[in-house]
Structure 1
Amino acid sequence: MGSGKGGVPVVNSIVVKATNLSKSIKKQTLVEPINFTVAAGHVLALCGGNGAGKSTILRMITGIMQPSTGEIEVNGLQWKRDRKGFAKLIGYMPDDYQFSHGLTAWEALAFWGALRSVSKKRIEEVLERVGLADKRNNRVQTFSKGMRQRLLFAQAILDNPPLLIMDEPTNGLDPFWMNEFVRLINGVKEEGNCVIFSTHQLQIAEEIADHVIFLNQGRSYGYESLADYEAKYGAHPLHAAFQAVLT
């Protein structure tokens, strides 16, 4: 057993382990049982359209939503056994967020930073990293959707968590910041952290994912590496693989 950031134990480099994870509400099945692991420094993409179950899986991983069956472990911890410790391991970027009226970018990050005991120096570093340092004193309500997405990404990595969860993180980003997003995620990987994100944009998954799971109406298909998909389908393999799932 090794030691991760802040002395957090890392077992065999596996950060996330999902076992028979499912969600049903009354008689409706939102997510059928799914199993996967994600190692340190790796990226898992959950690909599918609206209503596929992507966001439900992410919410179960973070503890926002409790699974009907199965369990999630992050660095060996389970939410139901150590909620506080579990929460410290995860940075979460929702698909959208209503910022408090009147807050500047700096004030928003300072609020989140205070909750996580993050230094002012670290806040400055993260603002610089996401390209918002020159906007630190601007009110968030004046930001474009893409700028808000970058601020949400910034709060998710404030305390450098071993697991970064992102729900449709590239929605609203212009082409320039789509490229920057790829750079930012590669930086997270290089730091030894892992990422799970949902997307309907297959080209982004092809650029940054190590493994991909397709989802359609709550059912998962495949759990393969990008290299395996490329071996099967050639160029732009995820488009071909997704079509195979749907037919």
Structure 2
Amino acid sequence: MTALDVAGVAKTYKTKYALMPVSLQATSGECVVLCGGNGAGKSTLLHILAGVLAPTAGTVALHGVSLQKNREAYISQIGYMPDDFHAPPMMTVQEFLSFYASLRYVSSEKIEKTLHDIGLEKQKKEWIKHLSKGMRQRLLFGQALLGEPKLLLLDEPTNGLDPFWVDRFVDILKERKKNGTIIVFSTHMMDVAAEVGDRVLFMKNGEIVKQIEPADSHRKEETVLQLLKLHRQL
């Protein structure tokens, strides 16, 4: 049964398409990965799905709730990780998560669990300005996980992560999939796309030009090779 329904979503600036009409559907527990070069339209699509950017055309609905007609109810079901970090430098890790937790009515116990999941328990009293790039990235990921969202939207979430945390990121996404979370994320890491994605959508010039389904372990290497070939054709 379709849980996420994206129908003909597009974005134009004057006469130029930033995103050609895109349609996609996903069921609970499904992961859709967006790949492609810079300017391919990945972030634009994620911004629209997150309600950050209004589409020029098309509709988005999650579990029957329309983004256009009932934005507040739609937004309450999602977790969103943007591709850049904005927070007061003198705010602590715990204060940052507590702020987002208060918006989503998340308990202090859930905050502590999130700190554990992203490996920042020892840094929870640290000011954000003292965190490394990888730590800030994990913190941004952590706020998206708060509130058990039904749809998780992640824009280049593996940027700045070392190999250990890339593996941990993959494990967390697999756990969320088992719990029925729909995941849509963008990445330049083709092995991550092949490992987690049920579908990999390769984008170019604002449109989806190829869909790949790494259905089993035997096809993961094949998926990486296909993505490499597509990137070399850019």
Q: TM-score normalized by structure 2? A: 0.94
Contact in 1 for aligned 2:60/2:68 (Cα 8 Å) = no
Q: Give the match for residue 150 of structure 2.
A: 162
CA distance in 2: counterparts of 1:191 and 1:229, whole angstroms: 21
Q: What residue in structure 2 maps to residue 17 of structure 1?
A: 5
Q: Does 1:65 align with 2:46?
A: no
Count of equivalent residues: 233
State the shift of 1:130 in Å.
1.2
Give the counterpart of 1:199 among 172, 187, 210: 187
Q: Distance in 2 between matches of 1:202 and 1:117?
A: 36
Q: Which residue is equivalent to 1:43?
A: 31
| Counterpart AA for 1:149 | Q
8 Å CA contact 1:230–1:237 kept in 2: the answer is: no
Residues 50 and 161 from structure 1, CA distance in 2 versus in 1: closer, same or farther, beyond 3 angstroms?
same
Show the counterpart of 1:235.
221
Q: For the structure 1 residues 51 and 244, does the alpha-carbon distance in structure 2 shift closer, same or farther, using more than 3 Å as the test?
A: closer
The residue type equivalent to 2:7 in the other structure is T
> What SS is found at the alignment partner of 1:214?
strand
Matched, 1:208 2:196: yes
Unpaired stretches in structure 2, ≥5 consecutive residues: none
Provide the C-alpha distance between the structure 2 equivalents of 1:73 and 1:242, rounded to a whole number of angstroms.
Answer: 32
In 2, Cα distance between equivalents of 1:221 and 1:170: 23
Residue 187 (structure 1) aligns with: 175
SS at match of 2:201: strand
1:138 aligns with 2:126: yes
Letter of the aligned partner of 1:126 in structure 2? T
Looking at structure 2, the residues matched to 227 and 193 of structure 1 have their Cα atoms a distance apart, in angstroms, of 18
What is the Cα deviation at residue 227 of structure 1? 2.5
The one-letter amino acid of 2:9's match is L
In 2, Cα distance between equivalents of 1:106 and 1:192: 27
Q: How big is the shift at 1:33?
A: 1.1
Given the alignment, which residue of 66, 72, 89 partners 1:101?
89
Look up the equivalent residue of 2:171 and give its one-letter code. R
TM-score normalised to structure 1 length: 0.89
Asked whether the 8 Å contact 1:19–1:34 carries over to 2, the reply is yes
Distance 1:103 1:189, change over 3 A: same
1:37-89 CA-to-partner distances (Å, cap 9, x unmatched) read: 11111110000111000000001111111111111111111112111101101
Cα deviation, residue 222, structure 1: 2.7
Distance, in Å, in 2 between the alignment partners of 1:113 and 1:244 is 40
- Assess if the C-alpha contact under 8 Å between 1:47 and 1:212 holds in 2: yes
SS state at 1:133 partner: coil
* Cα-Cα RMSD: 1.8
